[in-house]
Chains A and B, each alone.
Chain A
Amino acid sequence: MGYEFLSPHRAIAQSGVVPVARSPLEHELRRAGASFAVRDGWSVATRFGSVAAELQSARCRVAISDRSWLAKFELQAPAQQLAELAGEHAGGALELGRARHHDGAWWCPVTARRLLVVAPPSCAAALHADLDEAAAGLDFASVVDVSAGMAAILVLGPGARELLATLTALDLRAVAAPEGALRPGSVARVPAIVLHERAGRFLVLFGAAQAEYVWSVVADAGEALGVAFVGSDAIEALDA
């Protein structure tokens, strides 16, 4: 069985039903009125009423969206070997402080010897297999599925940076943290990683057990800015 006990996507059918993975934020999202659908083995909050209204908020003010269902894999290897692996699979060399988006995944160098790969759940199994294969070719490398261990919130909109300014001392100005910037630091007093996906869009990753706390703090801080909760439907529309 290996280390399958770590991977949400390794669930199998029991009495004809495959257990659905649930975000650590599901309770909060349901309370906020989210509608859910099962996508790629996850129960995903798709909308909070009107997608049009959510899009408006995301474009004009600030919005937050649960992205905890993203697949996350941690690779560890000696620095040189990790760099070579990244060069082959991540579309180019990686530099600390900068993530690279390649083939739908974010390749995030946390340290010289530790890499976090964040990807849509639809490619989790294939990516996991690819990473295992790549790691097997190295002297000593490990791949661990930490998808369930990290929650993720997307903060987007013109007010995204202003909202984050109430929660973190990280310098997220474009000049200091351009697109692709990866910044570990404290957000709302918990260890987190902030990824500047693109202009006005920040992915905040943190420990899953703190999800409810972080979401409540972010939502509360965003109230003065008119924050709206946004489901995956609106995000897909924005990405289209």
Chain B
Amino acid sequence: MTRIAPQPGERIDRRQTLRFSFDGERAEGLQGDTIASALFAGGRRVFSRSFKYHRPRGLLCCSGACANCLVAVDGRPGVRACTEPLRSGMRVEHLNAWPSLERDVMRAVDKFGGPFTPPGFYYKTMIRPRRLWPVFEWGLRRIAGLGRLAKQDERQWRTSYRRRHADVLVIGGGLAGMSAALAAADLGADVVLVDDGPQAGGRLLHEGSHERAHELAGAVRERGVEVLTDACALGYYDGLVPVWQGSVLHQVRARAHVAATGTIDQPLVFPGNDMPGVMTSDGARRLATLYAVLPGSRAVVATTGDRGLHAALALHEAGVQIALVVDERSAATPAATLLAGHGITVRTGCTVVRADGDDAVAQATIAQVGPDGRPLAGSERSVACDLVVVSGGSLPATSLLAQAGSEMAFDIPSGQFLAGQTPAHVQAAGEVAGVDGADAIELSGAIAGARAAHAAGFGDEVSRAHADDMQSALTRLRAVPAAPAAAPSSCRSGKGKAFVCLCEDVTDKDIAYSVAEGYDSIELAKRYTTVTMGPCQGRMCQLASIRAVALHTGVDARAVGQTTARPPWTPVPMGVLAGRPFQPAKRSSIHARHRALGANVMWAGDWRRPYDYGDPAGEVRAVHDAAGIIDLSSLGKLLVQGPQAGEFLDRLYPNRFSNLKPGRLRYGVLGSDAGRIMDDGTICRLDEHGFYVTTTSSGAGAVEEWFAWWLADWRLDVHLTDLTQTLAAVNLAGPQARAILERLTDLDCSADAFRYLDGRRAHVAGIPALLLRLGFVGELGYEIHAPAVHGPALWDAIVAAGAQDAIRPFGMEPQRVLRLEKAHVIVGQDTDSESNPYSASMSWIVKLDKEDDFVGRWALEHAAVREHRETLVGFRCANGAAPHEGAAIVVDGAPAGRVTSARFSERLGRAIGLAWVPTALAGDGARITIVDEQLSFDAEVVIGAFYDPDGERQRG
């Protein structure tokens, strides 16, 4: 057990013990622990196996930046143990080792597989012989990846979106971020502060300033700033910043942004730098300070800046024996002097050049860095230790700034890319902008917050002047030379893998190979070797990869440049991005009746509609023999009103409507500019200036848009109102339809008074309604359109009135059979985007003798005189089987057309359908052959309706 005495600001509660399991074995920790700190306190040092070589990996950063501690928790893989809070009963498992973390057979890849796994090996190996690829693929799928997902039905995770508008969004809750939030809030801005840690405070929390962190956090909350913790800003999308917090994706839209995202402590590159026992200085300090766990007993500290020196002192005070500190800078800094005062030796101009041990660090070799960047001869010295603390400078977390359009400036002494010029509504604050020292960081935060508030429209001349004054003060502060970190050299010794990218197991040698093979830019090297493409997304390796490319190409790091920053900044579960699945559904006001009747409901566009009520054949019979009722509420319905309404419709349709008399209906086929069939429906003239237009259910939205678009262009005196959802509609059809209707209305429904294609307005069962006498299903029928809120009452009344006639509800499937018997076309099913009225056997609808132009006229004039290759016709099969829709019409062994609709008609005793056939075969009685996969059907062409061809039943 490596738990030490209580530390100021520690997160653990020593009074509460939590029990959990790791790889099936019992483990325990304390309330406030992370999984990693609990396991480390219990003696675990190996947490994972690396991606390619399956080398043992231990804790490195303890901040969620690297991928060394990825585990599965309760079946969910990809969890970072070093940031995941421990909970009682957790089931934690390792990811990619077999049979165990301690003995992983795939370690053989590390020992023997090197020649077979160079960078880009998948382009070079396992590709011959080709027939063995399935075998290679089988094997690779089993050994690759980081964990396995449980099956879909074993996973349940509820996620949701939350939209948040704000004036200022501050990303990063450290000293600079909190200072920015306070400054912006003081100017009256609505501020949201986001931090990826469990509490705001950043490095203050583990660098001995936790009280200051708490004080600032309290002030921030008192100012009304909304603080989101354990929250990761994923990217920057033109002002929208998605922030992932647990199972919620906050979509934050702010008028101004402050990035106070800080820097990330970097590891060093040397042979053995990936071994358990090598930790970044921040990682070691977090473990000791926040969780009171000693990261090791005897440490060598290797640093290129004061960050590592401060860590050495802190670890010494926590109880770690500091065997040696090496600082690659040539001159000692005050921090080194402080260490010396504690009896800790700091060697300048030196660095660690290798680490050795079996499965964990046992010794570190240090050396003086020679003028050629290699170890000075004779200066190497090995030091026994179980902990190597490294600090290779820091990486400013500039990804979000880069995505927002900020320019990056290269700082030569430290060899890092800092945020430079930012867009007007984006500010950089603190270390990410190259500011260091607590006072300067706090001041830079205040300036950024104020400027962000100004950009969002807050503040005045006084506040702007104050911001300018703060800027002057910051400039003065920064004029005092600090002790910057140096860029680490490439000084290393001996053989062994020196990892540039721990996530992807990319070594320095791999980068050298990549350059040698011609992939010598940072973008190409990245894609070829996959460096920076792992879970850390470059947090631990971007700078190292740039320096490696610089070293092997001879080009300096500034010229090498950075790869393009893209979201997401951190790996995020797909479920979080998906959010709650919405599936908008439209339902008729009568839908509850269909449910109660046990209807089989299906999707028809975005409507839920009854397919049938369990007996489609019986439903068809009912319509033919007695009466049926179908819910047509999904039909598109448009009210077209105005003195130029008739003219408007004449311009839209190929036939005429301005000459339609009030109270009469006419069928219309809507055409596109190119004369193609778009939609169809009926139009009833209500009065001099009013027309009631119906459309197909799926075309309603498009037709409304079409009408509105042309109206905006023509600027006629016409008003459009979409009534699709305002009116319910039912079709009462069958020989008894009139009798049933007469029981419900005072309207004269006799054949003479209410003729076929008449429209009447009357009360039905006390409900105001528009009745349209038409016949899509081939029998006497009435469409009744009434306010949707009376839909259920209308349905109930008709069903009750028709009970004595054995009225039955019928669904979409029986309707399809019925309309097919009449050879009625369904636009979109029997027609496609190439169909025009001529080829669809509807030439009668086109009135080219109209004086005025109409949409598609020019195309129809051409189509009228040209032969069309295919024609839509009906067909009747020789036997009872019906081909599938889509089956081919075959002529001379080659496909020459297709079936669009086909059903067996009980009434006719034959299978019938509609099909596109070569025009030469489009004559009544012509023989055609239909091939449906392995089956062949003989059929004959039928022109006109199959059932009641003269329409006596529907017009009676």
Interface residues of A (CB under 8 A from B): 1-8, 10-14, 17-24, 26-27, 42, 68, 74, 76, 140, 142, 144, 146-150, 162, 165-166, 168-171, 173, 175-176, 188-190, 207-213, 217, 220-221
Residues in B with CB closer than 8 Å to A176 are 165
Could you tell me if A21 and B787 are in contact, using CB atoms closer than 8 angstroms? yes
Could you tell me if A142 and B592 are in contact, using CB atoms closer than 8 angstroms? no
Provided the pairs A1-B768, A149-B726 are in contact, do residues A8 and B163 lie with their beta carbons within 8 angstroms?
no
Could you tell me if B793 and A27 are in contact, using CB atoms closer than 8 angstroms? no
Smallest CB separation, A225 vs chain B (Å): 11
Could you tell me if A11 and B725 are in contact, using CB atoms closer than 8 angstroms? no
B704-737, CB < 8 A from A:
717, 719, 721-727
Residues in B with CB closer than 8 Å to A217 are 582
10 closest residue pairs by CB, A with B: A149-B726, A14-B766, A209-B586, A148-B787, A21-B789, A171-B165, A1-B761, A10-B768, A5-B770, A76-B719
Complex alpha-carbon distance, A1 and B786, angstroms: 13
Provided the pairs A168-B163, A190-B584 are in contact, do residues A146 and B726 lie with their beta carbons within 8 angstroms?
yes
Smallest CB separation, B161 vs chain A (Å): 6
Q: Which of B4-12, B637-645, B842-850, B936-944 contacts the other chain?
A: B637-645
Could you tell me if A140 and B726 are in contact, using CB atoms closer than 8 angstroms? no
Cβ-defined partner of B641 (8 Å) among A13, A142, A211: A142
Could you tell me if A5 and B768 are in contact, using CB atoms closer than 8 angstroms? yes
Q: Is B62 an interface residue (CB 8 A)?
A: no
Cβ-defined partner of A189 (8 Å) among B584, B589, B642: B584
Could you tell me if A18 and B766 are in contact, using CB atoms closer than 8 angstroms? yes
Provided the pairs A1-B768, A76-B719 are in contact, do residues A208 and B726 lie with their beta carbons within 8 angstroms?
yes
Provided the pairs A76-B721, A146-B726 are in contact, do residues A4 and B768 lie with their beta carbons within 8 angstroms?
yes
Could you tell me if A166 and B161 are in contact, using CB atoms closer than 8 angstroms? yes
Interface residues of B (CB under 8 A from A): 160-165, 190, 251, 253, 580, 582-589, 591-592, 607, 633-634, 639, 641-643, 686, 690, 717, 719, 721-727, 744, 761-763, 765-770, 785-790, 792-793, 797
Cβ-defined partner of B723 (8 Å) among A4, A6, A190: A6
Complex alpha-carbon distance, A210 and B582, angstroms: 12
Could you tell me if B643 and A140 are in contact, using CB atoms closer than 8 angstroms? yes
Smallest CB separation, B633 vs chain A (Å): 8
Q: Which residue of A lies closest to B642 (CB)?
A: A140
Residues in A with CB closer than 8 Å to B766 are 11-14, 17-19
Complex alpha-carbon distance, A165 and B690, angstroms: 41
Provided the pairs A8-B790, A19-B790 are in contact, do residues A24 and B589 lie with their beta carbons within 8 angstroms?
yes
Could you tell me if A27 and B592 are in contact, using CB atoms closer than 8 angstroms? yes
Could you tell me if B165 and A209 are in contact, using CB atoms closer than 8 angstroms? no
Complex alpha-carbon distance, A20 and B791, angstroms: 10
Complex alpha-carbon distance, A10 and B607, angstroms: 28
Provided the pairs A3-B686, A19-B793, A146-B721 are in contact, do residues A171 and B642 lie with their beta carbons within 8 angstroms?
no
Complex alpha-carbon distance, A23 and B791, angstroms: 10
Complex alpha-carbon distance, A175 and B166, angstroms: 10
Provided the pairs A1-B768, A14-B765, A19-B767 are in contact, do residues A149 and B723 lie with their beta carbons within 8 angstroms?
yes
Smallest CB separation, A152 vs chain B (Å): 12
Provided the pairs A5-B768, A5-B770, A165-B164 are in contact, do residues A22 and B792 lie with their beta carbons within 8 angstroms?
yes
Residues in B with CB closer than 8 Å to A144 are 639, 721, 723
Complex alpha-carbon distance, A24 and B744, angstroms: 24
Provided the pairs A21-B790, A212-B591 are in contact, do residues A6 and B726 lie with their beta carbons within 8 angstroms?
yes
Complex alpha-carbon distance, A175 and B589, angstroms: 38
Complex alpha-carbon distance, A144 and B580, angstroms: 36
Provided the pairs A5-B769, A7-B787, A76-B721 are in contact, do residues A20 and B588 lie with their beta carbons within 8 angstroms?
no
Smallest CB separation, B724 vs chain A (Å): 8
Residues in A with CB closer than 8 Å to B719 are 76, 140, 142
The 7 sampled A-B contact pairs (Cβ below 8 Å) are A6-B727, A12-B763, A140-B643, A142-B721, A150-B726, A173-B165, A213-B585
Complex alpha-carbon distance, A189 and B787, angstroms: 25
Cβ-defined partner of B163 (8 Å) among A13, A23, A148, A169: A169
Smallest CB separation, A13 vs chain B (Å): 6
Could you tell me if B768 and A209 are in contact, using CB atoms closer than 8 angstroms? no
Complex alpha-carbon distance, A68 and B726, angstroms: 12
Smallest CB separation, B708 vs chain A (Å): 11
Cβ-defined partner of B725 (8 Å) among A171, A189, A208: A208
Q: Which residue of A lies closest to B593 (CB)?
A: A27
Residues in B with CB closer than 8 Å to A150 are 725-726
Q: Which residue of A lies closest to B770 (CB)?
A: A5
Residues in A with CB closer than 8 Å to B792 are 22
Provided the pairs A6-B726, A148-B787, A165-B164 are in contact, do residues A210 and B586 lie with their beta carbons within 8 angstroms?
yes
Complex alpha-carbon distance, A173 and B190, angstroms: 10
Known: A149-B725, A212-B591. 10 other contacts (CB 8 A): A6-B787, A8-B787, A22-B792, A26-B592, A144-B639, A149-B726, A162-B162, A166-B580, A208-B726, A209-B588
